[in-house]
């Protein structure tokens, strides 16, 4: 128990240290994150994740290391759907490219806190009421089937509960003021469109956590492994976004791979008392689903554009055209 406590303290210091290094040094000045830079950072986060897996191998054995790697892959793959939505939001609000990293940084910091709370609640429920696994499993199977059959949707700001609530309780301006979330308008503090996008990113992660947290419990029960695999996947999400933002709409069949993964892990939960699916088999199914759908997207492209492209035809945002502080319309994306 004591060793676990010191581990969590050390791990938290490590995470906060990497985030401080990221924002305080490497991204202290707002700039456009190019694919090359994003690729380097993906390499960094992936290397750290697998170094941690090696640490687990030495500390707790091969099974824990393999479980962590499987959980990490599940969370990383499911985050692709999250990237689709973030791309659409940034396009809809015409968020300048050089300010997108700041939104994702604070969005991911909030996501870490929310995921920690969700994981804690999930672990407690499973420990106290083991039958909750069946509810999680049924929900994941339903979600997987729904994902496979859903149609691309446009973002409708007028019907979005987050924006409607924000406009009711916050003073909001239609102007960007650099990378600030709040600015002064006629001497009064007002939220900028950048802050509204941050709220939407946080809400998006909350929605996706409802799927991803039960999914990882289908693979791992150990709180330590669930939490750490989630953290490493979230830390790499920003870099993954900047690498894939311009091409992710081409992976038109990816949603079927994600749907297959959700359905598989849900079914695994439902039969947990009848048959235990080996970890290596789970890893093979997840990798296979991703590989097949990604290759199919490359080999059999379709002419239909993703809803992200359609959203760019809209008139900026619910505020009309989004402007910079000096009144110029900002169209840098």
CA dist 285 and 289 (Å) reads 6
Q: Which of 10-19, 68-77, 159-168, 308-317 has the lowest mean pLDDT?
A: 308-317
What value does the mean pLDDT take over residues 20-39?
76
pLDDT band at 163 (very low <50, low <70, confident <90, very high): confident
pLDDT per position as a tens digit, 284-308 = 998 999 899 999 988 888 754 444 4
Average pLDDT, the chain: 81
Question: Residue 161 has what pLDDT?
Answer: 83
pLDDT band at 153 (very low <50, low <70, confident <90, very high): low
Question: Residue 156 has what pLDDT?
Answer: 64
pLDDT at 259 over 60: yes
What value does the mean pLDDT take over residues 10-17?
86
CA dist 185 and 104 (Å) reads 25
Question: Residue 263 has what pLDDT?
Answer: 92
- Which residue, 283, 246, 284, 262, is CA-closest to 70? 283
Q: Which of 196-200, 213-217, 305-309 has the lowest mean pLDDT?
A: 305-309
Predicted model pTM: 0.79
pLDDT at 331 over 70: no
Q: Which of 175-179, 261-265, 285-289, 319-323 has the lowest mean pLDDT?
A: 319-323
pLDDT at 321 over 50: no
What value does the mean pLDDT take over residues 228-239?
88
Q: Where are the alpha helices (DSSP H) in the chain?
A: 2-21, 35-60, 62-92, 100-128, 132-149, 161-169, 193-217, 223-235, 237-244, 254-270, 279-299, 307-311
pLDDT at 52 over 90: yes
pLDDT above 90: percentage of residues in the chain: 14
CA angle 12/16/22 to nearest 5° reads 150
pLDDT band at 111 (very low <50, low <70, confident <90, very high): confident
- Which residue, 163, 256, 240, is CA-closest to 203? 163
Q: Which of 68-82, 230-244, 319-333 has the lowest mean pLDDT?
A: 319-333
Could you tell me if residue 182 is left (phi over 0), alpha (psi between -120 and 50 degrees) or otherwise beta?
A: beta
Residue 122 CB coordination number (10 Å): 20
Question: Residue 2 has what pLDDT?
Answer: 55
Question: Residue 98 has what pLDDT?
Answer: 87
């Amino acid at each position: 128990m004591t060793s676990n406590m010191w581990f969590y303290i050390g791990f938290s210091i490590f995470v906060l240290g990497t985030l401080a290094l990221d924002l305080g040094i490497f991204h202290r000045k707002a700039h456009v994150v190019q694919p090359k830079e994003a690729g380097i950072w993906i390499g960094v986060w992936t290397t750290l994740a697998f170094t941690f897996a090696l640490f687990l191998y030495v500390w707790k054995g091969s099974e824990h290391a393999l479980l962590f790697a499987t959980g990490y892959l599940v969370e990383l793959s499911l985050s692709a759907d999250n990237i689709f939505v973030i791309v659409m939001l940034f396009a809809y609000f015409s968020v300048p490219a050089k300010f997108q990293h700041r939104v994702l940084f604070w969005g991911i910091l909030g996501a870490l806190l929310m995921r920690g709370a969700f994981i804690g609640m999930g672990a407690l429920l499973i420990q106290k009421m083991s039958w909750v696994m069946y509810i999680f499993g049924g929900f994941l199977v339903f979600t997987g089937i729904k994902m496979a059959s859903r149609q691309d949707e446009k973002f409708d700001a007028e019907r979005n509960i987050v924006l409607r609530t924000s406009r009711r309780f916050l003073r909001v301006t239609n102007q960007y003021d650099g990378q600030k979330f709040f600015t002064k308008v006629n001497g009064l503090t007002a939220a900028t469109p950048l802050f509204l996008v941050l709220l939407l990113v946080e809400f998006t992660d909350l929605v996706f956590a409802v799927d991803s947290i039960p999914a990882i419990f289908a693979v791992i029960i150990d709180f330590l492994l669930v939490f750490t695999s989630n953290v490493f996947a979230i830390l790499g999400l920003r870099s993954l976004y900047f690498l894939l933002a311009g091409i992710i709409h081409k992976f038109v069949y990816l949603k079927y791979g994600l749907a297959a993964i959700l359905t598989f892990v849900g079914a695994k939960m439902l039969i947990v008392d009848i048959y235990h699916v080996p970890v290596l088999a789970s890893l093979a199914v997840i990798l296979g689903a991703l590989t097949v759908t990604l290759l199919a997207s490359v080999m059999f492209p379709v002419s239909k554009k993703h809803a992200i492209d359609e959203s760019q035809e809209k008139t900026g945002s619910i505020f009309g055209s989004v402007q910079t502080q000096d009144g110029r319309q900002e169209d840098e994306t």
